[in-house]
Amino acid sequence: MSCVVVRVRDLMRSGVIKLSEKPIWYDVYKAFPPKRTPLYVKPHTRPSTKKQETVPEIFYREDEVRVKFYEQYGPGPWPLDLFKSNFVSTCQRYGFQFERSSKLCGKAYGIWFSQNL
């Protein structure tokens, strides 16, 4: 029997779990036990043989705009106010203006960005 079934059985024998509160699956498991005892064995892997997975870096266009903004203007005079849900930082306003202007001008964002920074 599996570890869970044995534990439930022992808890019912000791009176911790009442017969009226036994799990739904308990009677089914007792009536139709598996042919092989379910056994989970944690696979053994050596740390030196496991290949390190590299996660590719994800860059968005907005990230580049933020980096350039903070390089040019710094963090700004006011801290971010996270208690106000409608608070928009200077960097966010700059990003919104950048998006709007680049769509209106029809220029590639790199050209627009280099001209307006």
The pLDDT tens digits for 14-60 are 999 998 999 999 999 989 988 887 777 777 777 666 677 788 888 88
**Number of other residues whose CB lies within 10 A of the CB of residue 4:** 13
Query: Which tokens hold the place of 22?
Result: 């036994």
pLDDT tier at 63, thresholds 50, 70, 90: confident
Distance of alpha carbon 106 from alpha carbon 117, whole angstroms: 17
Which pTM value belongs to this model? Answer: 0.40
Of the CA atoms within 13 Å of residue 116, those in its CB half-sphere come to 17
Domain limits, the chain:
1-42, 61-116
Please give the helix or strand (H or E) that residue 13 lies within, else none.
helix 3-14
